[in-house]
Amino acid sequence: MGQVFRQGRRALVLAAALLPAPWAHADDGVGANALLVGQTITLQGGRNAYGVSVLDGVNAYLRHANEAGGVHGRRIVLKTLDDDNSAARAEANARELVLQDKVFLLFGPIEGGPSTAVMKAAIDLKVPLFGPMAGSPTLRRPHQPLVFPVRSEHRDEFRALLQYAKSTGVTRAAFVRSDSETGLQHLENFRALCRELGMQLVADLPYQSDIDDAQIDAMAQRIGASGAQVVVNHGGSGMYERLIRKAHAQGVKASFSAVNSGSAQLAANLGEQAHGMVFSQVVPNPMERKTEVAREYRDVFARYHPGKPFSYGSLEGYITAKALVEALRIAGPRPTREGFVQALHKAGGIAFNGLRMRYQPGDHAGLNLVDLAIFSRDGRFLH
């Protein structure tokens, strides 16, 4: 399955098959020999290393599944558009994929803002959204009957990071978040967790996507003045890297922890400044063969992307794509959108490689998996 970058609005199209499929007159996207799935994801023309890594994992598993015969005799064809980390673009992409390209369902956005925007389009158009790879609370609360997250949400990651910090004697925390409605929901969850754990939230640090160096300098100064002992972010690894560098340059003593999004890229970019950082992870360690899913992923990924490094992002993409294929298999040989939802509820969820995703009426929890990893001085993630 090739990747074609090109200028303009359709920045990337991924096809899990080499030939176009003749779509039948069943639900949109369901053909005799192929099934069309639509994806909008943050690639930023290839500059977003995390998005590209996720897509590499998705690509690897879908190629593997199609070469094994696909699902009920159909190849999975994935059409992917680049949303450039813009919620407005993500929603427009989702609507185009459904209304013009006639995809069967929507799949696999990343980042909270774009994923929430895709969810809005999916609900409006009555099309399932499977596997949004973001930790936004909006994807689960209130319950969304058409949305099926796979990964755990950020609230669970915040809890794990704060519990670890408390176990080391930390009582004062700062929180870095987007200045948005979703960011406010993350703040509410973070504040509630601090109260629950007997910790104090000493600095709320919202930021806009166009934050400049002077504003980041001021944010670093606020962290130092607040007496925060640990700083936790909810995403935005590029901005967080800049903040960490500024804080270290100012001599800020707080430790910095991070949620999983782009953790491998963040640690690589920070180099020595990442030593000792604690990261929450929503997939097992991809750098080791200690779990069944990691062993399978490493074998398949190396076959289709020889020479590319293993990463948390590509493993998350791989697991989410495998969950999609299993969901389509559960939906049966004559899938409809309504039947897709009902079949997952009847099955109670999806299970493979020791992982279990829960999908029941009123509860689309997905995975309940959060692990912690510390970035060591020899450049490894130690779980």
- Residues 310 and 286 sit within 8 Å (Cβ to Cβ): yes
376 found inside a domain? no
311 found inside a domain? yes
Residue 231 has pLDDT above 80, yes or no: yes
For the chain, where are the E strands, in sequence order?
A: 3-5, 12-14, 34-41, 75-82, 105-107, 129-130, 147-148, 172-178, 200-207, 230-233, 255-258, 278-281, 349-352, 355-360, 363-366, 371-375, 381-382
Stretch 157-164: mean pLDDT, rounded? 98
Q: Are strands 147-148 and 129-130 parallel, antiparallel or unpaired?
A: parallel
| Residue 103 shares a structural domain with residue 200 | no
374 found inside a domain? no
| Residue 13 shares a structural domain with residue 120 | yes
**Confidence grade of residue 180 (pLDDT, cut at 50, 70, 90):** confident
pTM, two decimals, is 0.89
378 found inside a domain? no
Q: List the CATH number of the domain containing 34.
A: 3.40.50.2300
| Residue 254 shares a structural domain with residue 308 | no
Query: Of 251, 281, 311, which residue constitutes the final position of a domain?
Result: 281
Residue 314 has pLDDT above 50, yes or no: yes
- What's the domain range around 61? 3-151+291-366
Q: What is the pLDDT of residues 211-227, one digit of tens each?
A: 999 999 999 999 999 99
Query: Of 281, 302, 331, which residue constitutes the final position of a domain?
Result: 281
| Residue 146 shares a structural domain with residue 160 | no
Q: What is the pLDDT of residues 16-68, one digit of tens each?
A: 333 344 434 468 999 999 999 999 999 999 999 899 999 999 999 999 999 99
CA distances from 254 to 108, 165, 264 (A): 34, 11, 21
Q: What is the pLDDT of residues 65-102, one digit of tens each?
A: 999 999 999 999 999 999 999 999 999 999 999 999 99
pLDDT over 70 for what percent of the chain? 93
383 found inside a domain? no
| Residue 141 shares a structural domain with residue 180 | no
Query: Of 238, 256, 281, which residue constitutes the final position of a domain?
Result: 281
381 found inside a domain? no
For the beta sheet containing 172-178, the strands, ordered from the edge strand earlier in sequence to the opposite edge, are: 200-207, 172-178, 230-233, 255-258, 278-281, 371-375, 381-382
| Residue 95 shares a structural domain with residue 234 | no
Query: Residues with Cβ < 8 Å from 169, sequence gap 6 or more?
Result: none
**Confidence grade of residue 4 (pLDDT, cut at 50, 70, 90):** very low
pLDDT over 90 for what percent of the chain? 85
Tally of domains in the chain: 2
